[in-house]
Structure 1
Amino acid sequence: MKLKAGLLTTVAIGAILAGCSGNKADSAEEGLLSDGVLAVGVTAGPHEDIVNEVKKLAAEEGLEIKVISFSDFVQPNTALVEGELDINSFQTGTFLDTVVEESGYDLAKIEPTISIPMGIYSEVYDDVSEIKEGDTIGIPNSPTQEGRALQLFEEAGLITLPEGSGQEVTISDIVENSLKLDFIASEAAQLPAQLQDLGAAGINSNFALDAGLNPKESGIFMENIDNLEQANYIVSRTEDKDDEAIAQFVEYYTSDEIKQFIEEEFKGALVPSW
């Protein structure tokens, strides 16, 4: 795989212009590589691991990538809008749609990356059928992920949600809760650490993996990854979506080398979506 001549030119220009502006958003007219580096935001765990592999692949052909890791789902989009990042790679399309609707951020989906199942985890039970009346259940408190977790518990047969509802549902929308489960919403990244104080929790697999929980071995109930509708996406500011550096990043990310890394490293716990 060879870096396009136009991108090499952009890199060369970037070396000359580096330091002229500390704000990437202000220098968008000169291209995202005006400072010679493509800044990519990720969340800790699989997204960070994969983009670090992309970084190695890109470095072989002269594209420098700076990987910036975050511990929550809010900061990567804020940092992107404020120009601290050039792109990010951590969120589902549904999550981004909700963020854009609620915040007014002008962000664009570029390319699907991976699909990551959510699972139910417990340090007390080996099967969801063992969950007892009155147990405290943890779920993520971020937009769409709360609803996604509730749909997972409905799929497991523990609660009933309004017919036809999607990932916009919240705890207050639960129609039937025969076990009187006490659902509490927490920061998604904190749920693995809180698991010792919970009957069970719905945890995104990227945070589970980061905490040493293998979804295939530790999850007591998992989403069917073949049926996941929402892939994760590479995201940029809308004004930059056609920047050549992003196209090159996508080319590296969706390469056979990265696909092989994902399959060997995560062993089916997450899968490529391209």
Structure 2
Amino acid sequence: MSIVKRRRPVLLTAALAGALSLGLTACGSGSGGGDDDTLVVGATAVPAGEVLTYVKDDLAAKAGLKLEIREFTDYVLPNTALQEGSLDANLYQNEPYLDEFNKSTGTDLVPVVKAYLPPMGVYSNKVTDVTKLADGATVAVPNDTTNEGRALKLLASKGVITLKKGAGTDASPADIAANPRHLKFQELEPAQLPRSLDDVAVAVINNNYAQDAGLSPTEDAILLESAKDNPYANLLAVKKGNEDDPRVEKLAKLLASSDVKKFIEDKYKGSVLPVTSG
């Protein structure tokens, strides 16, 4: 088995430095850098940004909520910005990722409400069946701990690999017990995975980055996560102590509403799945 060495510590350190430098202009914890009435929420563009834009345009005013959305293109800065106070909340991550982030960085971010499930998928420009990969084929996977473990579990669900007993959400290629096709695993930043499709046999891509690249999870993925018993629903998160902020409570209620559920069903048609109703 060939494994490209993980670069997480370097990437995380650089991202933390960038976020903290941005934080010098923030107005302090809970301020979000906006006025006192506006809830500033960080998000990746798809689907989080689109869901929040729907809430802002169609539901927020009636609920008495002022909402500002700030979009990010990575998975680290929205959490560091939330920790140091230039955001009031964020929406883009699942609970296993949040737990790992807190553990590795010493942050104290907490979940508020689950909003939707963006299923991870396996994509390819070269094959149509993940179970028929050639011997020695290269598989690109996310290089952050939680998403890499999630990607390996997805491959294992089809018998492409077998993971060691007890391998958890932080599984890495070192936890592979059987690799009958001698697959090589290339660890890349999640945002780079769609661009790798011409260079690898398959890539396991997070939903938001797949859609950003024009890929349809329901039409283009050759393997897609099931919603059944899936722990990876994306959630609204805040810094510990801000869970009872009235603005956060209003947004949480809207994200759990039947209006948002219908919006997700109508817009994404299975590419993103609602997990709440109200």
The structural deviation recorded for 1:61 is: 4.9
1:111 pairs with 2:105? no
The separation in 1 between residues aligned to 2:229 and 2:216, in whole angstroms, is 20
CA RMSD of aligned residues (A): 1.8
1:250 counterpart residue number: 252
Cα contact 2:135–2:183 (8 A) shared by 1: yes
Task: Give how far 1:239 is off.
Answer: 1.7
The alignment partner of 2:244 has SS state of: coil
2:205 aligned residue (203, 206, 209): 203
Letter in structure 2 aligned against 1:214: S
Deviations 1:1-43 (A, max 9, x none): xxxxxxxxxxxxxxxxxxxx95141759xxx985231100001
Structure of larger gyration radius: 1
Structure 2 residue 29 is matched with structure 1 residue 25? yes
Contact 2:139–2:183 at 8 Å: present in 1 too?
yes
Partner of 1:40: 41
Cα distance, 1:193 vs structure 2: 1.3
Partner in structure 1 of residue 19 of structure 2: none
Letter in 1 for 2:155: F
Q: What corresponds to 1:59 in structure 2?
A: 61
User: CA deviation digits over 1:22-71, x for unaligned, max 9?
Assistant: 5141759xxx9852311000012111110111111213554221111111
Decide whether the 8 Å contact of 1:106 with 1:238 is kept in 2: yes
CA separation in 2, counterparts of 1:117 and 1:61? Answer: 30
The answer (yes or no) to whether the contact 1:24–1:85 under 8 Å persists in 2 is no
Moved more, 167-176 or 179-188: 167-176
The answer to whether the Cα contact below 8 Å between 1:44 and 1:69 also exists between their aligned partners in 2 is yes
Shift of 1:145: 0.6
Sequence identity of aligned pairs in percent? 38
The change in CA–CA distance for 1:237 and 1:244 in structure 2 (over 3 A counts) is same
Partner of residue 14, structure 2:
none
Deviation at residue 147 of structure 1 after TM alignment: 0.6
Alpha-carbon shift at residue 128 of structure 1 (Å)? 1.1
Structure 2 residue matching 1:175: 3-state secondary structure: strand
CA 108–140 in structure 1, closer or farther in 2 if over 3 Å, else same: same
Q: Deviations over 1:238-257 (max 9, x none)?
A: 12111111001112222222
State the AA in 1 paired with 2:126: V
What TM-score, normalized to structure 1?
Answer: 0.87
Amino acid of the structure 1 residue aligned with 2:43: V
Q: Specify whether residues 142 and 71 from structure 1 end up closer, same or farther in structure 2 by C-alpha distance, changes over 3 A only.
A: same
Structure 1: gaps of 5 or more residues: 1-20
Displacement of 1:118 in angstroms is 1.0
Trace 1:110-149 onto structure 2 (pairs within 5 A).
110-149=112-151
Match for 2:29: what amino acid? A
Deviation readout 1:57-115 (Å, 9 max, x if unpaired):
21355422111111111110000011110000011011101111111101111011111
Number of aligned residue pairs: give it.
251
CA shift at 1:140, angstroms?
A: 0.5
CA distance in 1, matches of 2:217, 2:258: 24
Query: 68, 71, 74: which one pairs with 1:69?
Result: 71
Contact 1:33 1:245 in 2 (8 A): no
Which residue of 1 is the match for residue 192 of structure 2?
A: 190
Unmatched tracts of structure 2, length 5 or more: 1-24
Matched AA of 1:23: C
